[in-house]
Amino acid sequence: MKKVFSLLVLSVLMAVQQASACPFCYGAKDGKSTEHMAVAIWFLFGAVLSVIGGIGAFSFHLWRHGRTPAEPHHELTEEDLSKYE
């Protein structure tokens, strides 16, 4: 049991060392790649928000036009269709 626990602790320590090797994990503010990653994140954020905004605008459009009364020539009328048989 002690051997398994020591292997688990060693593997966690090795994983932590590998994960903190890049400048993104450290949060290097002066790196060019960090600046480019920030621009990419903001661009993708804007792209997602524009798609969600378009869906919302289309839903509002359908809701608004669904509430307007129909034109007189679009209204269904009950007429006697037996004369056409």
Domain boundaries, the chain: 22-67
CA distance 5 to 23: 31
pLDDT digits (tens, 9 = 90+) for 13-68: 766 555 555 655 555 667 777 788 888 999 999 999 999 999 999 999 999 998 88
Residue 44 CB partners (closer than 8 Å, separation 6+): none
Q: Which amino acid is at 11?
A: S
Q: Is the pTM of this model over 0.75?
A: no
